[in-house]
């Protein structure tokens, strides 16, 4: 079923997703804590956004689990955008490996983009996405990383829109 997750892990993600709605009005940290408690995953939690909680799978990949309904949408969108966009743009998108209901597995990317490079290169990259029919929403510095080849790569493109 999954090359990365066990049946038990997928089951606990399913359980969390089924309960997620009870916590829709909780504050961000409370929701993430509740998710952790229910998920009971053995992996290290390396990041929390508004929509997703992120775990390090310790094999060069990360697991993002939705914390909200929007988070489920973000995962779906990243999977679709990654698989449908042209190679020239794909090299700027963090590689998606697997997806399931409410979760997605991506390459782990740790090198933050230095402010100078971000300011210098981001406007052109944004234009490139727009020219390809993708509105690159929310490309803040916390949502991008540098690839080994020094390319700016988006790790959170769940808010991108294809038009």
Ligand X SMILES: Nc1ncnc2c1ncn2[C@@H]1O[C@H](COP(=O)(O)OP(=O)(O)OP(=O)(O)O)[C@@H](O)[C@H]1O
Which one among 41, 62, 81, 105 touches ligand X, defined by CB under 6 A? 62
State the number of binding residues for Mg ion (CB under 5 A).
3
- Tell me, residue by residue from 92 to 131, as one string, x for binding to Mg ion by CB under 5 A and - for no binding: ----------------------------------------
Note whether 154 binds ligand X by CB under 6 A. no
Minimum separation from the CB atom of position 76 to ligand X (A): 12
Q: Which is nearer to Mg ion, 15 or 46 (CB)?
A: 46
Note whether 143 binds Mg ion by CB under 5 A. yes
Q: What are the backbone angles phi and psi of residue 131, rounded to the nearest 5°?
A: -65, -25
**Distance between CA atoms of residues 39 and 62, nearest Å:** 15
Note whether 49 binds Mg ion by CB under 5 A. yes
- Contact residues for ligand X (CB under 6 A)? 46-47, 49-52, 54, 62, 64, 74, 94, 106-110, 138, 142-143, 155-156, 158
């Amino acid at each position: 079923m999954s090359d990365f997750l066990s049946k038990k892990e997928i089951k606990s993600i399913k359980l969390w997703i089924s309960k997620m709605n009870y916590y829709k009005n909780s504050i961000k940290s409370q929701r993430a804590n509740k998710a952790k408690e229910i998920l009971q995953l053995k992996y290290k939690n390396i990041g929390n956004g508004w929509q997703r909680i992120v775990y390090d799978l310790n094999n060069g990949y990360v697991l993002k689990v939705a914390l909200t309904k929007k988070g489920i949408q973000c995962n779906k969108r990243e999977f679709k955008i990654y698989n449908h966009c042209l190679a020239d743009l794909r090299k700027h998108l963090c590689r998606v490996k697997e997806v399931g209901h409410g979760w997605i597995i991506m390459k782990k990317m740790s090198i933050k983009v230095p402010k100078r490079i971000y300011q210098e290169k981001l406007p052109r990259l944004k234009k490139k996405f727009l020219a390809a029919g993708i509105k690159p929403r929310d490309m803040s510095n916390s949502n991008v990383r540098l690839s080994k080849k020094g390319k700016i790569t988006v790790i959170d493109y769940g808010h991108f829109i294809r038009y």
